[in-house]
């Protein structure tokens, strides 16, 4: 459940206001959602990407961009609802809360670069269906052998 201060959004939203506030509440519960710096906005994008993979958050379309999967609509909606304050509460459905907790454990402590590489690797493998996502990640992101192993290991630990 999301509680907010009613204010008119500053930008036209791409999604229904309630959906955007749910997304913001989920990001807030995960220690994200701020828009002040590039790193915070990058973190929002990657956490929302994985929130969708974990089936915790409403869907936004993502395309591959310079720093991995990116959703212009998500950016617009987050900026369009900056004036709203959201409170966090748990999900009513226990299954949804369990998926949220798995997501929270997955993103905990990961730097923006880690999230960028993980999201890009996952996108290449599962959305673009690239035959060799490791080679592509090395080419487009300059990923090291250690980073590639990290991505494979972390994504195998989670049944996505």
Percent of the chain scored above 90 by pLDDT? Answer: 72
Beta strands in the chain (DSSP E): 63-65, 68-70
What residue spans define the domains of the chain? 17-156
| Whether residue 45 has pLDDT greater than 90 | yes
Of 80-84, 101-105, 106-110, which gets the smallest average pLDDT?
80-84
CB neighbour class for 77 (10 Å; exposed up to 12, middle 13-18, buried from 19):
buried
């Amino acid at each position: 459940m999301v509680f907010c201060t009613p204010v008119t959004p500053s930008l036209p939203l791409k999604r229904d206001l309630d959906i955007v506030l749910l997304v913001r509440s989920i990001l807030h519960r995960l220690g994200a959602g701020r828009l002040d710096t590039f790193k915070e906005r990058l973190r929002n994008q990657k956490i929302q990407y994985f929130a969708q993979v974990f089936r915790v958050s409403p869907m936004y379309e993502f395309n591959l961009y310079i720093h991995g999967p990116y959703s212009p609509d998500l950016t617009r909606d987050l900026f369009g609802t900056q004036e709203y304050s959201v409170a966090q509460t748990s999900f009513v459905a226990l299954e949804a809360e369990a998926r949220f907790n798995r997501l929270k454990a997955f993103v905990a402590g990961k730097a923006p670069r880690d999230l960028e590489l993980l999201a890009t690797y996952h996108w290449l493998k599962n959305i673009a269906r690239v035959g060799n996502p490791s080679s592509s990640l090395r080419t487009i992101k300059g990923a090291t052998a250690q980073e590639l192993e990290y991505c494979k290991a972390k994504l195998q630990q989670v049944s996505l």
